[in-house]
Structure 1
Amino acid sequence: MRESANLENSAPAIPIARHMLLQTSDIDEARERVGKVFCPHRIEFVGNARKLDFHQSFASIGRLALSYVSYGAEVEIDAGVPEDWFMVHTTDRGQCGMQIGGQDVLADSRTDAVSSATTGLKMRWMNNCGQLVLKIERRALEDHLCQLLNDELRTPIEFLEGAPSESAQAYRRMLNFVVSETEHEENFYNSPMGLKNLEGTLMTLVLTGFRNNYSEALLHSAQGVAPRHVRLAEDYIRAHVDEPISISDVAAAAGVSQRTLFDGFQRFRDKTPMAFLKAIRMEAVRKELLRADAMASGVSVTSIAVNWGFTNLGRFAESYRRRYGELPSVTLRR
């Protein structure tokens, strides 16, 4: 056991070792335990190697949790779409090739990666790779973002590939502090006030440090929330999402010109009004696919997609795959 853990150090010490959860050489036992902590997944050895040296430590931090994982072997993991969790993957040694939605990321000691609740996650761990993973409840992060923006969320939070901001380095420093605190019986987050502030600080650093579809809105939040015409347009779109509406309909409902409407959406939502409409409809399709009975008569991806205004089925399927990490037909079968 060590007194503190520095993520820049490549020494093979185990962070949060005081909270060791499991050590095993059985890949099925490792899969079962990791599935309970994170989400159900498939795991396979790569190549001829069949020797596992798995370690996992785990510390709960309210609606967040911190877990260190290493497999000691080259393995491939398909986690599907987590749905209920966001995860920040900080690699302290080795490398992990990750596919998050349609984005390929090589996570190492210099590059953190964030996997979203609504996008597929696949990983290829190298033999000596170890990751410290911060798990955040989806509802907790969504609620926190609403507080930061003083507004409702119109589309799911989705983290994107891109250079991290300076807040990402602040996230690393904060993570080192949390790791150090886990080694003490009496720590900062034992008290309700300390826990609440720690949760909020970590979530703020994640949202501001790593590029996502709300980064532009967060950047402008200090200058005020989205103007009234943008919020009126969003309310109109949500109320008429199942109807054939046009940009002129939306602009009229917001009481502004189409150009003003476009400018407002680009500045505060980082997308066009019709892209916002498409995202709302895509989310509606996904919810209906998840609820539908694939064996029921008349139920198909085509019927559901067309019902929500997607007539180019090839383009729809590709957009759906990029957003959720799987084809709509796979969602329907689930």
Structure 2
Amino acid sequence: MTYATCSVSQIEKADAEEMTAHYARTLFPAIVEPLHRRGAISVEDRHYTIGSCSVWRGKCHSGMSVMLPGGPEAYGLYLPTAGKMLVDAAGRQLESEPGRGLVADMSSFRRLTFFEQRSHMGIAFEKAAMIRQLSTLLDAPVRSDLEFAGPVDLTSGRGMQIAALGNLIWQDLTAAGQQKSSASFSECLLQAMMIALLETVPHNYTPQLQGPASPAIPRQLKRAMEYMHVNAGADIKIVDIARETGTSVRSLQVAFQQFKNTTPLSYLREIRLQGARKALTESNRSRVVADIARDWGFSHMGRFAALYYQSFGEMPSETVRQAR
């Protein structure tokens, strides 16, 4: 259980160099410029971190442009209250203003433009957490990147629910004294927001989520799947999975066969292969195939190459070459 930590900043009439240094200290490397030549920048921000999520409210009084070499490995939700923001995201231009929220992969952000008097609430969910939640909803491994397709209409019924949930999350984090909730309650609210976004905002897995409901699976099986996703790169065995989920090896095998039509170790191997493939497509020359294979629990390189070829129709080295 992780309790929230808070940071507050208020900067008035700073120049571009001061703002660039501030971002490097508090968030991530960026180049900040005023919207108007020789203009000063004034911003205020309150930022909370809890578990795998960050929540903040910010206001840019002056307007500014923030250029990024690449944003954090997270999905960001922006709920605007005033003003306009533009985001250049790997060739796409995204827009957010009152009534029009935004959910996007923050690692694709290249430039953010905040216009005068822009204010919003933001929530960043680590990619791994969002993928785990999606996998739980699908009752299946997530085989490729999650890609949200559009804005959030905050004037629609579901959009207003998302905005209301955002306000509840903020009230929960900023409450003081006896009004303050437990960390577990705060984390449940953030999990509820992930589910709301996955079920409301269109993305490349929406058709699967909207398909026929799969049979309800036992709690122990869900726990086993979650444990495998979190510990896919570790040296775990079926007895470890059974112990973690409070069931016997035999019961676990029967549950996987009945509800997933596979074995526990085959399910784990599929998670590892998909993770290794994603890492290989994003690899650079400083990382070799063997290192990535070991990161994902494969110690025998020949066996890894054979399984990889069987699953994807190409050798791991071919994946790396194509990525480069």
Report the count of equivalent residues: 234
Deviation (angstroms), 1:144: 1.5
Structure 1 CA distance for aligned equivalents of residues 203 and 69 of structure 2: 20
Kept after mapping to 2: 8 A contact 1:54/1:71: yes
Residue of structure 1 in register with 2:187 after alignment = 196
2:209 aligned to 218, 238, 246, which one?
Answer: 218
| Whole-angstrom distance in 1 between the partners of 2:183 and 2:170 | 18
* Deviation (angstroms), 1:162: 5.5
Identity, % of aligned positions: 12
2:60 pairs with 71, 74, 77, which one?
71
Do 2:20 and 2:32's aligned partners in 1 also have CA atoms closer than 8 Å? yes
Alignment CA distance shift 1:92-1:36 (3 Å) = farther
Q: In the alignment, which of 22, 25, 37 is matched to residue 13 of structure 2?
A: 25
Which residues in structure 2 correspond to 1:266-285 (within 5 Å)?
Answer: 284-285=280-281
Residue number in structure 2 paired with 1:307: 318
Contact 1:117-1:138 within 8 A present in 2 as well? no
* Residue 50 (str. 1) matches residue 39 (str. 2): yes
> Match for 1:171 among 155, 162, 182?
162
After superposing on structure 2, the runs of 4+ consecutive aligned residues of structure 1 that deviate more than 6 Å are 279-282
TM-score by length of 1: 0.59
Aligned-partner residue type, residue 113 of structure 2: R
Tell me which of the two structures has the higher relative contact order, counting C-alpha pairs closer than 8 angstroms and 6 or more residues apart. 1
Aligned-partner Cα distance in 1 for 2:278–2:53 = 28
8 A Cα contact 1:148 1:221, kept in partner = no
Which structure is higher in strand share?
A: 2
- Alpha-carbon deviation of 1:174? 0.4
| Unaligned residue ranges in structure 1 (runs of 5+) | 1-17, 226-278, 293-303, 317-327, 329-334
Cα offsets for 1:87-133 (capped at 9, x unmatched)? 11222111111222332222101111122144234211112212221
AA paired with 1:114? Answer: V
In the superposition, relative to structure 1, how do residues 191 and 119 fare at CA in structure 2: closer, same or farther (>3 Å)? Answer: same
Tell me what 1:120 maps to.
109
**Equivalence for 1:233:** none
Question: If the length of structure 2 is used for normalisation, what is the TM-score?
Answer: 0.61
Taking the aligned partners of 2:172 and 2:192, their CA distance within structure 1 comes to 15
State the SS of the aligned residue for 1:208.
Answer: helix
Q: In 2, Cα distance between the equivalents of 1:290 and 1:207?
A: 35
- Paired residue for 1:96? 85
Deviation per residue, 1:130-189 (Å, 9 max, x gap) = 222111122221222222212111112222225657533311110112223333214777
State the alpha-carbon separation in 1 of the partners of residues 140 and 196 from structure 2.
19
Q: 2:137 aligns with which of 148, 164, 171?
A: 148
